[in-house]
Structure 1
């Protein structure tokens, strides 16, 4: 499957409860100032290592600022063999206003 689905925060939260992997593709400084708790930072330098180490069958939710850039990243990751890929509609901004208790700060690690 090389397609992804766009989902709202409520569906993403349900996936999170089931152990979905969240990746945040915003720039490192923005990620550090606030991101979905447990989300991994992903950029052009780390994407290959992430794909190599990932469970391709685990649900994967891609997050950006407003849900636009995450669509192309989700399509790319689906094309790399991930079987269940989602783009978060509304991005981090909508997530933050919907689930502020599930936001944390810190540098990409």
Structure 2
């Protein structure tokens, strides 16, 4: 069984630019207020559909507020069969501070 990896925003940006899937597990209001450009919002209701339709071998980046909850979510995805999962250290807060131009607002991503 593979394990997820913790990576800094700089490494996450490189993976994102190479086509990695970005999933954001924060609450819908926080996601709408700001998220990583191209990220997909996941919650308890949408995660089963996401898992069913996902490429389990595609690099998948998981982000939360500060990088703690994303570790649990990343471990969950690994347990569901995902093989290349990353938790972004520092979460969206560090991402936004590091790459403000790589953020978006709204719910239609």
TM-score bin, normalised by smaller chain:
over 0.9
SS at match of 2:66: coil
Confirm or deny that 1:56 pairs with 2:25: no
**Partner of 2:32 in structure 1?**
32
Counterpart Cα distance in 1 of 2:88 and 2:108: 20
Confirm or deny that 1:75 pairs with 2:75: yes
The question of whether the paired residues in 2 share the 8 Å contact of 1:60 and 1:84 is answered with yes
Counterpart Cα distance in 1 of 2:64 and 2:28: 12
Q: Which runs of 5+ in 1 are unaligned?
A: none
SS at match of 1:15: helix
Q: TM-score, normalization: structure 1?
A: 0.97
**Partner of 1:97 in structure 2?**
97
**Partner of 1:18 in structure 2?**
18
Q: TM-score, normalization: structure 2?
A: 0.97
Counterpart Cα distance in 2 of 1:108 and 1:78: 26
Post-superposition, which runs of at least 4 consecutive aligned residues in structure 1 deviate over 3 A? Answer: none
Alignment coverage as a number of residue pairs: 109
SS at match of 2:65: coil
Counterpart Cα distance in 1 of 2:31 and 2:5: 23
